[in-house]
Structure 1
Amino acid sequence: MNKKYDFIILGSGLGGLQSGYILSKHGFKILILEKNSKLGGTLQSFRRFGCNFSTGMHYLGSLEEGQMLNKIFRYYHLFDGIKYKRMDDNGFEIINIAGKNYKYPMGWERFKKQFLEYFPGNEDVFERYYYLINRAIDAQALYSLNHPEGNSDSELLMSGAYKVLKSLSPDIEIRNYLAALNFDYVGEKEKTPFYVHALVTSYFIKSSYRVVGESDQLARSLAGSIERMGGKIINKQKAVKFQYHDDKIAAVETHTGEVYHADNFISNIHPANTMDLIEEGKIKKLYRKRMKKMENTISSFTIHLRLKDCFLKYLNHNYQYFKQNDVWYPSYYDEKKWPEHFFFHTPPITENDDCSSCAQIMTAMKYEEVKKWEDSTKRTRDPEYHVWKEEKAHMLIDLVEDHFPGLKENIEDMNISTPLSFRDYIGNSDGSMYGRISDFNNVVSNYVSHKTKITNLFLTGQNLNLHGALGVSLSALITCGEFVGLKNLLEEINNA
């Protein structure tokens, strides 16, 4: 019989690695199984033509001393040997909306000053907005690394972001500016809760940083710590089904036929994919159906570029463009008009880059556009797919060229990722950027607990509450708090 573990964690995304770290630190025997050759989920980076590109972790918020992610990263020793570059205080994000540029400064005082320069005489609008942002954050104590006490502010949980912003001002320019970080949570007018907007926007405004070099340094650091504490990580082992003893899971079988035993199991993969591992009759049909039917956020189309030396100065900010006078792109996405938006990013190679020889262009794309090739793999895609992919890339580059003249003629090489690429590497069935959609219209049916209907199977990761380093880090605390005590865990982090 194989060695028995206290915990087996499926998936080595940030939530899985952080869970493995916490449990190993507290003396549990853990095993992490990863289907890919590389660890990290959206922390993964890859090297092409001399450039390191991140799969998903393009920048981080609230990393300044004393801020939430700083405390969390300090607990995991993610400042040891890893460098972070602070983005431009006066505009970590420049957003062009229908031809007009707007800066997003760092820090709420700077942000207020910039807002009032753009929109003089609207101090009351800003103050009301700032009040609601803080109310939404305070309603969820965990986002301030405090132990949750009592009920959350249900009114804000059930309020739509678009509706709340619309109530603040009749001026669409003001509303667009306040919602301009929409691509960081792919908000939809009809669904996205205000608390999602509040948490993500405040997270980046407080401070914004980029990882210098490869983003998978974070994954390698966590993995190294786990192994030093006695944990084990095995890659190229895709979980295919659970085995049972009575009503509990006893083991997990992988695609190679290996069987691994444990007392408890934590899934860092999408809840819908997790249901595929559970045989019929072992979990309630209604629960399975709800997990399988959850709607996911839109996917993306990304171009990774190698540029001629010093064509482009290093941009210490992100640049976004919305063709229409509307930043809620997923709400009016139209395949026939694609692309109407892009996110442009230059990953830092060193702390003191003068030039950018590497760049990434991202925009939204629906999975339906690649669905006819979904049964193929990276090695078996037909020629039609590659022609389509190149055509789409040139359409997107044409749009970016209008904002960065000379870009096309200064591209030395490029690599293209589609929703199929994200599906294959990240594991979501439709290549979703941020997992399930948060929908204020269906708070109860949309809710995903860290506990499942099987007593020793738990969930963690971006599908629990919120995506990104913020939401995923907190999901690991929630899940592991079940075993080591959430209050105790929060004290450890706040005192790290």
Structure 2
Amino acid sequence: MKKVVIVGSGLGGLSCGVVLAKNGYDVMVLEQDAQVGGCLQCFTRKGAKFETGMHFIGSASEGQTLQRLLHYLEVEVKLSQLNPAGYEVISLNGKKYSFASGKEGFIDRLASSFPSQRDNLERLWEIIEHVASASSLHSLKHTETDAAIDTQYQLRSINDVVEETITDPILQKVVVGNLPLYAAERDKTPFSTYAFVMDFYNQSAYRVVGGSDNIAKSLLRTLSKYGARVFTHKKVVRIDCDATRATGVTCMDGSYYDADIVISDTHPARTVEMVDSPLLRPVYRKRIGRLPNTIGGFSVYLRFKENKVPYMNYNFYSYNQETPWNCENYTPQDWPKGYLYMHFCDEENQQYARSGVILSYMRMTDVEQWKGTEVGKRGADYEEFKRHHALRLIQNVAKEFPGLRESVDEYYTSTPLTYYDYTGTEGGSMYGIAKDINLGPMARVHHRTRIPNLLLTGQNINSHGILGVLVGTMVTCGELLTSEEIFNQVVNG
């Protein structure tokens, strides 16, 4: 039985562990923190629970892609569906627009505001379906790789394709109104990224009842069922290698674990730092270190007064400018240019929200002066920085939701520095390495490395989000089991 050591217990690490343990591998997962799950983690303050990364999921109705993947991984969680008539609401120029679930619903809803654009909306959705269905595990329709995707949609930007297809200048902006979900940048992010995200959430959109950490807990139960071991407080500081391969890992506490295969679920830049071997060439190390990462985020977690805020079963995006684009290019004076506001789902058929979150872009450079300080011990100036930005965000949301400020009992905050400390992602970025059409293949991090038994997984390998990470998991594990074998297990399991 081959030994697999997985470094990091984010969704990629846990799901790789399940796939391999189910297929007879001896799996061990090592997590540096006290809690597993990475971006699936939640935290609780005075009885209110908050999610840190995965706030909602898509394609989870019976028979849809994510539902089938979760079934294969033996994940059991309760889901609460977002409003099919408007799971995303975009506020732009003082007017609100909704994304409805399903191709027909999406087109009909937007065509009611832009009747002359119905044919163009249908054409846009044809392109989205064309791209999404060409990807192997994104569609679960075939075993071909992503090479089947029309190359032009990997090399053309979102705005290029959208603005060629949609001729109304306002609708051009509306249809990209949820771009904070993947931190898209104008003239950089490939249209294929947009297509995957839109197809994924448009099929169906849900929140995980009780929080996304329930996915991590369920994966832990599956791992235990198949004999895998998971250890927390085990920070891997070195991936040990001989002249030809990885031999195991060494932790900060001095413990060593030998391995036939090592899979890293950490940011590629962190993985490279752990490998002191000529097998990883200097040019590879430099390329990984220079890859751009998506912008970080500032979060305000709201704990509401009891029975004061009606539960909102949709996501709300608002912009303080005429376009969703370029919100990452802000100044201290015009921040925030936009935000995403959501509620936490505590129970099925929820009537009132107990907690919510407001997210907006923030660069790591804004908090660089406190880098190297400990969580909770960064000083009074850092606390004032957070308080100032939190109040500005709350004030912005209150413009759209009158009475919000009076309904908040207490709030908590996080910055890119918080995210960096808890996840290790470069620059505290929201979604890891950024996709950039201008860099071509150089922007892609392959799941294989020049160390033959060192593989990579997680949001940086395929794409971020639960589906992107799980597709990456299947690709990584396919290196050991073959992609066709995993595909057959998922489809027939």
TM > 0.5: yes
Please tell me whether residue 148 in structure 1 is matched to residue 144 in structure 2: yes
**In 1, Cα distance between the equivalents of 2:179 and 2:449?**
31
Please tell me whether residue 117 in structure 1 is matched to residue 117 in structure 2: no
Partner of 1:171: 168
Post-superposition CA distance 1:280-318 (Å, at most 9, x none): 534111111111111100111111111111211111111
SS, match of residue 102 in structure 1 = strand
Partner of 1:91: 86
Partner of 1:476: 473
Q: Is the Cα–Cα contact under 8 Å of residues 294 and 446 in structure 1 kept in the other structure?
A: yes
Partner of 1:238: 235
Q: Is the Cα–Cα contact under 8 Å of residues 426 and 432 in structure 2 kept in the other structure?
A: no
Post-superposition shift, 1:331? 5.1
SS, match of residue 260 in structure 1 = strand
Partner of 1:157: 154
Letter in structure 2 aligned against 1:84:
L
Partner of 1:216: 213
TM-score by length of structure 1 reads: 0.96
Please tell me whether residue 336 in structure 1 is matched to residue 322 in structure 2: no
Please tell me whether residue 421 in structure 1 is matched to residue 418 in structure 2: yes
Letter in structure 1 aligned against 2:127:
L
Give percent identity, aligned residues only: 33
SS, match of residue 116 in structure 2 = coil
Q: Is the Cα–Cα contact under 8 Å of residues 99 and 323 in structure 1 kept in the other structure?
A: no
SS, match of residue 346 in structure 2 = coil
Partner of 2:56: 59
Please tell me whether residue 359 in structure 1 is matched to residue 363 in structure 2: no
Please tell me whether residue 18 in structure 1 is matched to residue 15 in structure 2: yes
Please tell me whether residue 311 in structure 1 is matched to residue 308 in structure 2: yes
The 5-angstrom pairing of residues 432-451 of structure 1 reads 432-451=429-448
Q: Is the Cα–Cα contact under 8 Å of residues 89 and 317 in structure 2 kept in the other structure?
A: yes
Partner of 2:399: 402
Letter in structure 1 aligned against 2:98:
K
SS, match of residue 197 in structure 1 = helix
Post-superposition shift, 1:398? 0.9
Post-superposition shift, 1:388? 0.8
Q: Is the Cα–Cα contact under 8 Å of residues 187 and 330 in structure 1 kept in the other structure?
A: no
Post-superposition CA distance 1:322-374 (Å, at most 9, x none): 11111124454334310121111111111021111211111111111001111
Letter in structure 2 aligned against 1:97:
L
**In 1, Cα distance between the equivalents of 2:375 and 2:11?**
24
Please tell me whether residue 127 in structure 1 is matched to residue 122 in structure 2: yes
Which of 230, 250, 254 lines up with 2:251 in the alignment? 254
Partner of 2:96: 101
**In 2, Cα distance between the equivalents of 1:169 and 1:200?**
18
Which of 283, 290, 293 lines up with 2:290 in the alignment? 293
Q: Could you list the runs of 5+ residues in structure 2 that have no partner in the other structure?
A: none
Post-superposition shift, 1:240? 0.6
Partner of 1:278: 275
Which of 453, 467, 477 lines up with 2:464 in the alignment? 467
**In 2, Cα distance between the equivalents of 1:233 and 1:355?**
37
Post-superposition shift, 1:248? 1.1
Letter in structure 1 aligned against 2:398:
E
Post-superposition shift, 1:393? 0.6
Q: Is the Cα–Cα contact under 8 Å of residues 318 and 345 in structure 1 kept in the other structure?
A: yes
Post-superposition shift, 1:142? 3.0
Letter in structure 2 aligned against 1:95:
I
**In 2, Cα distance between the equivalents of 1:135 and 1:334?**
39
**In 2, Cα distance between the equivalents of 1:158 and 1:330?**
23
Which of 74, 77, 85 lines up with 1:77 in the alignment? 74
**In 1, Cα distance between the equivalents of 2:391 and 2:156?**
39
**In 1, Cα distance between the equivalents of 2:150 and 2:407?**
52
**In 2, Cα distance between the equivalents of 1:35 and 1:476?**
20
- State the number of aligned residues: 491
SS, match of residue 313 in structure 1 = coil
Please tell me whether residue 9 in structure 1 is matched to residue 6 in structure 2: yes
Letter in structure 1 aligned against 2:455:
F
TM-score by length of structure 2 reads: 0.97
